[in-house]
Structure 1
């Protein structure tokens, strides 16, 4: 039987992308998706929450209700992991990233909020909720700047690179 992608059956390459290539691939993934899974730890154990996010460089941003389980967990331990992935068609299309960092919760009056808020496309969520676009929300903003990223892309094997690449700030 012919193989669709024979390069997947070969020994896995071990080549590393240079930093500029790795940055570009990670930024492409983050900017081409809008859903992630946020992993936190709390008193009841681990919590994995699907979240709509907006990217800003190697950071992901989202809003959250103050009394949500994810914010309760972040208050107890701000170390988080975020999984971002592209739709999977088959092994050759496998592409995703795990971001590891410390979540920052920025209240509406926090001085750093304005810098991040510019990248947040709040109009979409406001329109979905029937709120007027003339009044920007004052939601709590969560910012996760990645300290390290594990990037996976099986197509890299075709080019002689390891399908799993490691990035550090």
Structure 2
């Protein structure tokens, strides 16, 4: 039988990528996508919501209506999981990340708001909705800081690496702020 990608057959390698190489691959994924699925927990159970995001280093951020179910859930329990993935064509193209961490809800009067807001590209939403660029939105900004990332990329098998890799911040890593 002809195999399109023979390196996908057989047992998966178990070799781990060096932290810097894994970090680079994760940042590439975060930079090349703009949609994620945010998972929160609330009184009615789990909630998975598609959200357009931007990122600053390994942190992802988005805005939402303060009255939305996801914001109510985040106010009660800031623990989240975020799934980000590239379009799947076949096993060889399988690439995604699960970020596990805490969400922080920032308002314009929060000390950290301005630092993140500079990286948030709200202008395209405003143009699409016909709003003035002279009046930025005033809603909350949600920042998810991961304490663990599970990265999956089956192309890594081709190079002899495990297709599932586990990222943690280095002890010397600090958040953007």
- Residue by residue over 1:72-119, the C-alpha shift from the partner in whole angstroms, topping out at 9 and shown as x without a partner, is 000111000000000000000000000001000001211110010011
* Greater displacement, 137-146 / 29-38: 137-146
Which residue of structure 1 lines up, in the alignment, with residue 37 of structure 2?
37
Matched residue of 1:12: which SS? coil
1:50 aligns with 2:54: no
**Structure 2, unaligned stretches of length 5 or more?**
170-177
Partner of 2:175: none
Aligned to 1:94: 94
The alpha-carbon deviation at position 42 of structure 1 amounts to 0.1
SS at match of 2:51: strand
SS in 2 for 1:166: strand
Separation in 1, partners of 2:159, 2:127? 43
Q: Equivalent residue for 2:160?
A: 160
Residue 106 of structure 1 pairs with residue 106 of structure 2: yes
TM-score of the superposition, structure 2-length normalised? 0.94
Measure, in 1, the Cα distance between the counterparts of 2:108 and 2:50. Answer: 23
| 2:158 matches 1:142 | no
What TM-score do the two structures reach when normalised by structure 1? 0.99
- CA distance in structure 2 between the aligned counterparts of 1:111 and 1:9, rounded to whole angstroms: 51
SS in 2 for 1:10: coil
* Equivalence for 1:18: 18
Cα displacement (A) at 1:129: 1.1
Moved >2 Å (runs of 4+): none
Q: What is the aligned length?
A: 169
Deviates more, 1:53-62 or 1:131-140: 131-140
Counterpart in the other structure of 2:130: 130
Aligned mates of 1:70, 1:53 — CA distance in 2:
14
> C-alpha offsets along residues 58-77 of structure 1, whole Å, 9 cap, x if unaligned?
00010011110000000111
Match of 1:73 in 2: 73
Find the counterpart in structure 2 of residue 61 from structure 1.
61
Q: Which runs of 5+ in 1 are unaligned?
A: none
